[in-house]
Amino acid sequence: MEKFVDPPVLHYLVVDRRDLQLFQQLANRYTEVITVEDILPWWIRRLPGVPKAWFSLKTPPIRNWLLQQIVKIQTARQINGEVAVFIDSDVAFIRPFNFQSLMRDGLVRLYDEPGGNPEGMDTPHAKWHETASQLLGISPTPMPAPDYVGNLITWRKDNVVKMCDRMAEISGRDWIQTLGRVWHFSEYTLYGTFVDRLLGENTGHYREANKLCFDYFTHVTLSDLETRQLLTQVQPDQIAVMMASKARMSVEQYQPLLEILGTTLDPEELKSKLLADYPSV
């Protein structure tokens, strides 16, 4: 953030309370470290010795996967600003970037790829769409459905508040209690569905289908050569890279390669630099 984002923006680091001391050293004029526990309501708390779920007095135990999505929504409701940009913790900026480029004539960028989920109804993306429609009280989204999921995603705070109010209205209970009872869920799919299907022309967004962040999501650990070959696919307009921690690759393995990505925008020159140690490839 400090190296590539200019001018500085208010950066919220959201961490578990048990990790607060590790991250507090990063706090400064533009970086605020806040804890998950401070964002959540009093009736949701971590249980000692239970690593994969949080105890809730008003819902069944909440899985970590679902809880981090609830935290994103609640954070967007509480920020000091009207626009939230979500950047997952596995993301690294590789090129200079100005957040004002996410604005156009007063509208905020929304990643929205029409037909980006062409799979059948038994896939995770399809189930996320099904859950989103149920939570919002609307008919199922026809397939192929749009894709709203990425690693550098932009929301409007006012839309988030309206979305939560809608869920509460449909379910008859607090929106966090509502989400605490779902299984297949994506916060980005929920927001995109709400904006596209319920707000009409008053979304406050313009839409783009290109991903600003190149991502590697799988569990497969890559060799050095495989990592270099993968990163040759990074596009000139992509300003960040996400290498999923579930691939069990150390940051030291690929950090020098990310620095190469920031030195050039020419695809052929980039490929040559990344594969210089493997001339026969």
Rounded to an integer, what distance in angstroms lies between the CA atom of residue 37 and that of residue 46? 8
Structure tokens given for 254: 């690929």
Q: What pLDDT shows up at residue 246?
A: 87
d(CA 40, CA 75): 9
Read off the pTM: 0.92
DSSP states of 9-33: --EEEEE-GGGHHHHHTT--SSEEE
pLDDT in single tens digits along all 281 residues of the chain: 888 888 888 999 999 999 999 999 999 999 999 999 999 999 999 888 888 889 999 999 999 999 999 999 999 999 888 999 999 888 999 999 999 999 999 999 999 998 876 665 567 888 999 999 999 999 988 888 899 999 999 999 999 999 999 999 999 999 999 999 999 999 999 999 999 999 988 899 999 999 999 999 888 999 999 999 999 999 888 999 999 888 888 888 889 899 888 876 677 888 888 888 877 76
The secondary structure of 150-215, three-state, reads: CCEEEEEHHHHHHHHHHHHHHHCCCHHHHHCCCCCCCHHHHHHHHHHHHCCCCCCEEEECCCCEEE
pLDDT at 271: 86
Rounded to an integer, what distance in angstroms lies between the CA atom of residue 132 and that of residue 125?
A: 11
pLDDT score at 62: 94
Task: Please report the pLDDT score of residue 122 as a whole number.
Answer: 63
What's the rounded Cα separation, in Å, for the pair 259 and 281? 21
